[in-house]
Structure 1
């Protein structure tokens, strides 16, 4: 089961230093200081906000299955892989996700291309009245603007679009199942896209696996479109990539720092707890490589924290602080974020 293998990989990357809920918050894309810093600490960028609609009940059910099947073990809410779990994880191919870059926006790309294809197929059949497969008015507005800017009724545009779309699907980065699910979900003249339940029955795979494979197919498609020449597909990716890696709240803190405000000032200005502002600093350090940290911790202190972390093979703040008691937990967090950001 693909979702199980993905969960095992994420649990493995946490190195037995997080509770069983940490992968859930990662997959959901929780915008908390802990989850954001874990993305950097444990190099989990591909999986962040991979499945925002995942419910806690669904997730807990899968964790329970992994426990029952002996793939993971739990000790005081901390989860680890067993030998059996490690073997199962190692049997999976390399996943091709980029959750940090898209954060669910891949669905916007899908909505656009699905509506464009449906529209073109109906116009080719000379049918001008149909029920759009997308309900979002923003998608309708975008697609209408896209088509009107391209003389979409011309045979030349239709031929070029079709050629580029087929070229995209033929790319070797796709597995066959990626291509098939992508196409089976499409609607057109005289043809309705398959539902998730229909796809799950067809492939005899769990619903979660099918949905994750579909998300992966979108991430692969976006990567190909951005790295190769697809002039008629590229506009459909507009604003799909996250423009800033910072959450909205962290961005406001960052802007105030740039204006010269201290952390204490910012907490007062924004009516936020001081530790929330500290969380923002960790997020900023993780996301912005050249953000200056010298007012919080020296380069020598960063190096010392990183050496201790490497020697102990841990990111646990309490364990590290025993060796540098003169540093605060906040300073240690900055050092770890800075170190992993530089390495990642």
Structure 2
């Protein structure tokens, strides 16, 4: 776990310890999304949803004790010189993901459960076996797989799933042969238990930290395949796939805003607080900036005034200058401008 967490910190940029944790476990606040973007880590959102606070804090303490990380009073951390050296040494043999751009597409924990049970059901069908113990998954996945199985053409299901899996594993192997190995050996078959991550890591000569990254990356690759290729795997997993990076509520707010509704009108129509509507548009600004009319949302006159107040091109150093009798609009403009300037700097 130490090498896994170490990869998310920098020598040149202090990074908030809690933001890294919140990104990995998928706490999608605007602040976490914004700082994740500034750290270049937004694509790791939801990469380790099972990570516990105790496990994370213990790892941070160990990295500090080893002299690899320093944490200040504001809970911002930097790599030490020794930490940079360790990070570079780890990078030489670390697994480098291929599908992180699809970070928003699926909850890989949920996707993995449904895939595992679905493939077990098909394997037992191929052997005409109706007496077996299904793998332990959430009740919702059990119902979903039953419904998928009931709708399928059972005479053709095993053959079509085999063709689907063959096409999928061929594509995965093109990115990294280990992805295809972990997918196939990690499935439950007739009289064939799945290999654990520990066993797979031992077989492939990979550290547990790398197996965490590879497993998440693999399931994002499976999700991307299912989104684009029709077939039984798509039918099984499509209900778990998101349509885009935005939350459903943010999409509704964006649609109303794009149709000319003011923020106040959207709040009244959707029975939301005005602050919630603003948070939705900030989420859009971070994740889907091209869908906003920036000249309308943050006119040039506001940008001119804000650049005088916040002249530093490094937006991570800014501190909000509150104003009297502000109803939240000033902070909304501040964060919007921070996102706008940060995006300009990255481009």
Matched residue, 1:186: 187
Q: How does 1:328-343 map to 2 (within 5 A)?
A: 328-339=330-341
CA contact (8 A) 1:185 1:195 kept: yes
Matched residue, 1:316: 317
Matched residue, 1:210: 211
CA contact (8 A) 1:10 1:23 kept: yes
Q: Which moved more, 1:211-220 or 1:188-197?
A: 188-197
Pick from 23, 41, 44 the counterpart of residue 44 of structure 1: 41
SS at match of 1:239: helix
Structure 1 stretches lacking a partner, 5+ long: 322-326
Q: How does 1:8-157 map to 2 (within 5 A)?
A: 8-12=6-10, 15-16=13-14, 18-76=15-73, 77-90=75-88, 91=91, 92-96=94-98, 97-98=100-101, 100-104=103-107, 106-154=108-156, 157=157
Deviation at 1:112, TM superposition (A): 3.0
Aligned residues: 331
CA distance in 2, matches of 1:6, 1:330: 35
Matched residue, 1:281: 281
SS at match of 2:245: coil
CA distance in 2, matches of 1:148, 1:93: 39
Quickly say closer, same or farther: Cα 1:275–1:119, change in 2 above 3 A. Answer: closer
Deviation at 1:23, TM superposition (A): 0.1
Quickly say closer, same or farther: Cα 1:250–1:14, change in 2 above 3 A. Answer: farther
CA deviation digits over 1:234-258, x for unaligned, max 9?
3333133322433355456546655
CA deviation digits over 1:166-190, x for unaligned, max 9?
3422433554543343334322221
Deviation at 1:57, TM superposition (A): 0.5
SS at match of 1:186: coil
Matched residue, 2:169: 169
CA distance in 2, matches of 1:265, 1:220: 37
CA contact (8 A) 2:112 2:219 kept: yes
SS at match of 1:73: strand
CA contact (8 A) 1:37 1:337 kept: yes
CA contact (8 A) 2:34 2:286 kept: yes
CA contact (8 A) 1:317 1:332 kept: no
Per the normalisation by structure 2, the TM-score is 0.76
Q: Which moved more, 1:296-305 or 1:82-91?
A: 296-305
CA deviation digits over 1:85-113, x for unaligned, max 9?
33443424532324641352x33332333
CA distance in 2, matches of 1:303, 1:34: 24
SS at match of 1:116: helix
Deviation at 1:262, TM superposition (A): 3.6
CA contact (8 A) 2:4 2:210 kept: no
TM-align CA RMSD:
4.0
Q: Which moved more, 1:185-194 or 1:196-205?
A: 196-205
CA contact (8 A) 1:9 1:89 kept: yes
More relative contact order in 1 or in 2 (CA 8 Å, sep 6+)?
A: 1
Deviation at 1:259, TM superposition (A): 6.7
SS at match of 1:12: coil
Deviation at 1:201, TM superposition (A): 7.2
Deviation at 1:217, TM superposition (A): 1.5
CA contact (8 A) 2:34 2:339 kept: yes
